[in-house]
Amino acid sequence: MRKDLLASSLKAVREGREAAKAEADLKPRRLSGVLDVQRGLDQLAAGAARAISPSEIAGSAIRDRFDIQDELEDLVASIKASGQRLPVLLRRVRGGPLPYEVVYGRRRIEACRQLGIDVQAYISEMDDREALISQGLENAARLQRSFIEQAVYAEQLLNHSFSRDEVCDVLAIDKTTLSRMLGIAEAVPATLIAAIGPAHDSGRRPWMQLREVLSAQPDLTEAALLAMVPADRASNERLQAVLTALTKRPAGAQTASAKRVLREKLTIERSPKKLAIRCADKSLTGFTAYLDDRLDQILEDYLRDQGKAKATSRVK
C-alpha cells in the first residue's frame, strides 16, 4: 500500500511539473507568430522598394486610423517637396479586382494618389493574420494614433481571433491598458465614437469619464447621444461638448423605474467576505465574463480609494 501511495505521489509530482512547463512554454509559442512577422518585416525593409500605381492598390480589412484625411495636406506637401521617404507595405491579392492590398501606409498612398505619382512600396506574400500583425507592429512604432483609435483597433484585432496577449504584444501595451481600452470601446456606442472622432489631444481620461457617465444613464438613446455632438467643432471639442451635455442632465433624467428594471436582471448576494452575482436575464449572457475581465482594475481602483481615505483621516 505504501508503494502504491508513493507511486501515485511521484506521478502527481511529474504531472505537476509537466503542466507547469507547458504553461511556461505557452506564451512564447503563442507570440512566436508576432516575432516571426517582425523578423520578416526587418528583412523586407532591407530590400528595395518598387514603384506601384495607387490605382492598383485596394484598402485594408481593418482601418488603423479613423480619418486618413487628417493633416493629409502636410504629408502631400512633404512628399511633393522631398519625395516619399518611407515605403508602404502591400501584399499580393490572388483573384481580386486589384493586384495589391495595403497592409500599412494608407495616408502615404492617398497623398501619392493626389499628387498623381507612383507609390514606393515593399511587396510581400501574407495571409490575413500576418497582414494584421504587420499593420499593428508598424503603427505601434510609428503612427501617432489617438487613445480611442488605439482602443477601437485593439477591439478589432480581438474580433479577428487575436488573443489578448497577442494584442498587447502587437500594440506594445500592458494588460491593464488593454482592459481599459476594451472597456471603453465596448461601453461607448460605435456611432458616438465615429461622430466624435479621434480626439488626438484628449488622452484616456475623458473617454473613461464618458464611459462612467454613460453607464450611469442607460436610458439614453443613440439618437439622443448623437444629437449632443456639435458637427461644426474639432474632434477634441466634440468630446468635451458631449461630456458637458451629459453631466448637466437633470438628476432625475434616469428614472427610478429604469434603475429598477436593470437591477431586476441580476440576483446579488453580498456579505463582508463574499459577493455572488447571478444573471436572471438572457440579455446579460456574458456579463460575468465581462466583469471578470475588469476585476483587476476594479480592485486597483478600490485600493487606491482606500489609500486616499486613510490619508485624509490621518490629516484630520
pLDDT at 16: 46
Concatenating the DSSP letter of every residue in 192-213 gives HHHHH---TTT-SHHHHHHHHH
pLDDT at 43: 54
pLDDT at 274: 73
Residues in Cβ contact with 143 at an 8 Å cutoff, skipping those fewer than 6 apart: 64, 65, 104
Q: In what order do the strands lie in the sheet with 88-92?
A: 50-52, 119-124, 88-92, 100-104, 57-58
Q: In whole angstroms, how far apart are CA 84 and each of 87, 119, 121?
A: 7, 8, 10
In 3D space, the residue among 131, 103, 111 whose CA is nearest the CA of residue 68 turns out to be 111
In 3D space, the residue among 255, 198, 197, 208 whose CA is nearest the CA of residue 231 turns out to be 197
The CATH-assigned architecture of domain 145-246 is Orthogonal Bundle (1.10)
Cell numbers standing for residue 178:
488593454
Strands 119-124, 274-279: pairing kind: unpaired
Listed in order, strand segments (DSSP E) in the chain are 50-52, 57-58, 88-92, 100-104, 119-124, 266-271, 274-279
| Burial of residue 219 (number of CB atoms within 10 Å: 0-12, 13-18, 19+) | middle
| Three-class DSSP labels, 80-141 | HHHCCCCCEEEEECCCCCCCEEEEECHHHHHHHHHHCCCEEEEEECCCHHHHHHHHHHHHHH
User: What single-letter DSSP state applies at residue 234?
Assistant: -
pLDDT at 29: 43
In 3D space, the residue among 9, 127, 110, 102 whose CA is nearest the CA of residue 69 turns out to be 110
Q: Are 266 and 280 in contact (CB under 8 A)?
A: yes
pLDDT mean values, one per 10 residues, the chain (316 residues):
44 45 44 57 64 92 72 90 91 87 90 95 86 77 76 88 86 89 92 91 90 86 90 91 84 46 62 72 76 83 73 53
Interatomic CA distance for residues 245 and 255, integer angstroms = 18
Q: Are 133 and 170 in contact (CB under 8 A)?
A: yes
pLDDT at 242: 93
**Which part of the chain is CATH 1.10.10?**
145-246
**Which part of the chain is CATH 3.90.1530.10?**
35-144
* Neighbouring-strand partners of residue 101: 58, 91
The CATH-assigned architecture of domain 35-144 is Alpha-Beta Complex (3.90)
Please write the tens of the pLDDT for every residue from 167-219: 888 888 899 999 999 999 999 999 999 999 988 888 889 999 999 888 888 88
